[in-house]
A and B are shown apart, each in its own frame.
Chain A
Amino acid sequence: MARRIAITSPIGVAGEAAPQVAVRGPGWDGRFTVLILFLPPALLLFTLFVVLPIGEAAWYSAFNWNGFGRPTNWIGFDNYRFVLETRAFWLALRNNGLIIAVSLAVQLPLALTLALMLAEKFRGAVALRMLFFMPYILAEIATGLIFSFVYDGDYGLVASIWRAFGAEPPHLLASTDTAMLAVLIVVVWKYFGFHMMLFIAALQSLDKNLVEAARIDGATRTQTLRHVVIPLLYPTIRLSVFFAIIGSLQLFDLVMPLTRGGPADSSNTLVSFLYNNGISRMRVGYGSAIGVILFAICVTFAFTYKRWFMRDE
């Protein structure tokens, strides 16, 4: 299993051995045809819908603009100031932090434990793997709706458990104290299976000889695990952490059916904050400023993470 990380930075690719100098000769004409036929569609689409919009976000973020016609009202960096002055922005940032924390403290150990259990062959192991992976392939929207039922204070599963104990059921999604907690539980439910699969894939491609050797040397299972298996999994763990963080920065679909970021902005993520305050109000400038901030966070994170934690790969 290749352990190269998905986010191959431009630096990584550029660092590869330079292609041999092309020898002009048979095939040059063919090469030329390929170049002008095969590359432009991808490059065009990519430039048009990925690169330009990011550049334009930076441009639009300097305007106060409601999205009709063309931007005219230049206000410099004011939109960034407005964003930073919005309480909901900091709440959203905090919530993204919480998602990352839960991913690291709960989801990752859970996924790793399950992977270690299910990487071995026994009856039902494959079925359980599939079962645990299933939430990951469900659409976030559907997941969110399912859990808004689970949490519903009148009809939901949680409510009936409370009622069974004779207590007044809580409306978890409607309280500023519990809404984010409820979202976090759904995040774990939805994504632990994916991380588990990453670990299982890694475990299956481990060099069995190393583990065998440790066992022959008299190491106990726990010792083997701690000193041989886990260190061999470090690259996968780093990868899993990476996805948890990037995933948290993108989280949106799940939040919308659950809470729409509410109540009172208590469960917004950065993207739902961008949607609620930028897109649904068509404040293009303000929303673009949020987008640029999010972009800066993503890019800074990707590069730093690669440099600090994935240097050796």
Chain B
Amino acid sequence: MNSAGARLAFDPAVLFKALFLGLVAIFVLVPLLATLLGGFKSLGELRVNPFGLPAQWEWQNYADILFSARYWQLLRNSLVISTLAVALTLITASMAAFTFAHVRFFGSSMLLSYLTLGLLFPAATAVLPLFIKVRDLGLLDTYFGVALPQVAFSLAMSVLLLRRFFKDIPYELLEAALVDGCSYIKFFRYVTLPLSRPILATVGTITFVNSWNAYLLPLVMLNTDALYPWPLGIMVYQGEYSSEWHLILAFITLTILPTIILFLLAQKHIVAGLTAGAVKG
């Protein structure tokens, strides 16, 4: 396509582009909209009219779930586990990253290499021994039994991201502070951390999203449904209402709602966080 063509009123390239983007948008949107709308239908209507707007809006499906203790309990459990994971990750990773960034000591690079081993494989590879370990620590069926391994597996990436950022804080600043009698710990607390809010937010976002959506670890570690985070809970719900799809769809919609709201509120942060987490190292 040459530049002369681009100026034509009906540029076939533009048309093609619009068509292509439209098709992809439909591909993405239809399952999501059908899920949202399906929750408003009766089972009978769902069968004959899965695509369109409901003939009769069944608010009851959503209301029943929203007023059930079960739904809120699942979200609360997820929130507890994810918050634990984020808090512990940020604390341990930022302390370690600070040390690697600013403190020179023998074996520093070796230890850092050791931590980066964690990037090489997914938690699933070691999930059985992990189960045994958590059992031996007496943490089976506790929030910590899920959160601690999640923290451990997110450490490698978090430490690398944080260390990279911390290193950009001029060393002279630290030297000057030390000469003035400020301790490393105070410097960390009052200079490094406040300066590093963006990267802490990024690391926090990655950890939170991973923990919020996690399924395998809670599946293996938890067995009391009172402790289930929502991905486990929704699978149980689906098992119970096996083919009452209108209820399942309403439940799915309500459980992904927090994610979508969060995403719409903080999209820039989340996109930046998730792609940066993937790209920087």
Contact = CB atoms under 8 A, between A and B. Distances in A.
Interface stretch (B64-72, B121-129, B194-202): B121-129
A203 interface: no
A253 B215 contact: yes
Main secondary structure of the interface of A (DSSP, over half): helix
Given A9-B116, A41-B91, A291-B124, A141 B231 contact: yes
A57 B121 CA distance: 13
A105 interface: no
Nearest to A199: B275
Interface residues of B, number: 109
B9 interface: no
A214 B32 CA distance: 42
Interface stretch (A26-34, A88-96, A171-179, A226-234): A26-34
B231 A54 contact: no
A138 B245 contact: no
B92 A45 contact: yes
A210 B125 CA distance: 44
Interface string A213-241: 00000001110000000000000000100
B245 A155 contact: yes
B213 A31 contact: no
A274 B111 contact: no
A45 B151 contact: yes
Interface residues of A, number: 109
B28 A131 contact: yes
B50 A155 contact: yes
Contacts of A26: 178-179
B77 to A, nearest CB: 14
Contacts of A11: 113
A13 interface: yes
Interface in B228-255: 231, 234-235, 238, 243, 245, 248-249, 252, 255
A49 B274 contact: no
Given A10-B116, A117-B17, A137-B263, A145 B104 contact: no
B90 to A, nearest CB: 11
Contacts of A167: none
B105 interface: yes
Interface string A24-52: 00110011011101110111011011111
Interface string B206-235: 000100111110001000000000010011
Contacts of A155: 43, 46-47, 50, 243, 245
Given A132-B28, A221-B6, A294-B124, 12 more contacts: A3-B279, A14-B110, A31-B184, A42-B96, A134-B28, A137-B263, A221-B2, A221-B3, A271-B124, A274-B124, A279-B128, A288-B129
The 3 closest A-B pairs by CB, nearest first: A49-B152, A10-B113, A139-B213
10 contacts: A6-B279, A34-B98, A53-B126, A114-B21, A139-B259, A142-B255, A159-B50, A239-B279, A278-B128, A294-B122
